[in-house]
């Protein structure tokens, strides 16, 4: 027999021992998952006794978190741009950093624009853009069928209509052109892959690893973008904090003069350029 207050205290100690950063916060959240309550109001119920069933369900969740499975995978969802998105081990957990990309895209988007999201994962960016600009026609692609299953559920859950296609970058898009292409591609390099937090190791490697120098997908997308942008169309990337110069160079070479934006932590996070070529696919100047 154990009371809520005591169960949370023990869980917090177990999680702390395993190196979990916000152990108390996570312990309350996991208990809220068992009791289907909200973590704040649970604090007022500290003296309540857990049933055996509740106690064992709580232990199982705490054990998963102690093994450093991300809280969002255990809860099954994550918040992004004010909406709840379902997540599981086949998709990257949406980061707050990525809101910088979405806000810039929404600033530029107009009703009627055709938008492509490459490597949509949970569908976070595509859903946020369609949600914020319902007049845009949003297409989202991913190489992973399992990720697309999650993304489709999220689009439906948010009442957004998005076209989903299984595609390795532009592979399945034929000659289609878009007014805006956005992507948060895998961008971690060899060195970064070796120093990941245990939680990030639970996320799909295919959504994180961008080749030896982390730039593989920027090279591919920049090279091919002129075949898929309409004249005046824009390419917007999320980037790793040290990639501004390298990605800007690629943009300049293949697309157009770039500009960069910082995220809320002050790191370079987004690079954008407008394609000034002609519909034939070549650069004008």
Q: Give contact residues for ligand GLN (rule: CB under 6 A).
A: 92, 95, 97, 184-188, 200, 208
Q: Which residues pair with 140 in a beta bridge?
A: 117, 164
Shortest gap between Cβ of 248 and ligand GLN (angstroms)?
A: 17
Query: Which residue number places its CB atom closest to ligand GLN?
Result: 187
Q: Which is nearer to ligand GLN, 154 or 184 (CB)?
A: 184
Instruction: Judge whether 141 and 116 are in contact, CB under 8 Å.
Output: yes
Q: Which is nearer to ligand GLN, 42 or 91 (CB)?
A: 91
Q: Which is nearer to ligand GLN, 42 or 129 (CB)?
A: 129
Residue 107: phi, psi to the nearest 5? Answer: -65, -35
Number of H helices, E strands in the chain: 12, 11
Q: Which is nearer to ligand GLN, 155 or 188 (CB)?
A: 188
Shortest gap between Cβ of 188 and ligand GLN (angstroms)?
A: 5
Shortest gap between Cβ of 60 and ligand GLN (angstroms)?
A: 27
What are the DSSP E strand ranges found in the chain? Answer: 2-3, 49-50, 77-80, 83-86, 114-118, 137-142, 163-166, 178-183, 229-238, 258-262, 268-274
Q: Which is nearer to ligand GLN, 189 or 248 (CB)?
A: 189
Nearest partner of 134 among 111, 154, 102, 114, judged by Cα:
111
């Amino acid at each position: 027999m154990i009371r809520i207050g005591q169960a949370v205290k023990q869980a917090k100690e177990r999680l702390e021992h395993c190196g979990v950063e916000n152990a108390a916060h996570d312990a309350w959240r996991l208990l809220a998952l068992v009791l289907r309550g909200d973590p704040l109001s649970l604090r007022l119920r500290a003296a309540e006794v857990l049933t055996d069933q509740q106690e064992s369900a709580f232990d199982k969740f705490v054990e998963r978190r102690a093994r450093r499975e991300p809280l969002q995978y255990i809860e099954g969802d994550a918040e992004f741009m004010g909406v709840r998105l379902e997540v599981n081990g086949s998709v990257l957990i949406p980061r707050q950093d990525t809101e910088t990309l979405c806000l810039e895209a929404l600033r530029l988007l107009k009703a009627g624009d055709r938008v492509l999201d490459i490597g949509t994962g949970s569908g976070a960016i595509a859903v946020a853009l369609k949600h914020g600009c319902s007049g845009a026609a949003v297409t989202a692609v991913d190489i992973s069928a399992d990720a697309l299953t999650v993304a489709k559920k999220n689009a439906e859950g948010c009442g957004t209509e998005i076209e989903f296609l299984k595609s390795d970058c532009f592979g399945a898009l034929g000659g289609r052109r878009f007014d805006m292409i956005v992507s948060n591609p895998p961008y971690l390099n060899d060195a970064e892959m070796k120093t990941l937090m245990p939680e990030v190791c639970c996320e799909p490697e295919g959504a994180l690893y961008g080749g030896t120098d982390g730039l593989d997908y920027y090279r591919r997308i920049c090279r091919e973008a002129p075949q898929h942008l309409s004249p005046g169309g824009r390419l917007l990337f999320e980037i790793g904090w040290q990639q501004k110069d390298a990605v800007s160079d690629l943009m300049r070479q293949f697309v157009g003069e770039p500009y960069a934006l910082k995220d809320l932590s002050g790191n370079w996070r987004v690079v954008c350029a407008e394609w000034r070529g002609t519909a034939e696919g070549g650069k004008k100047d």
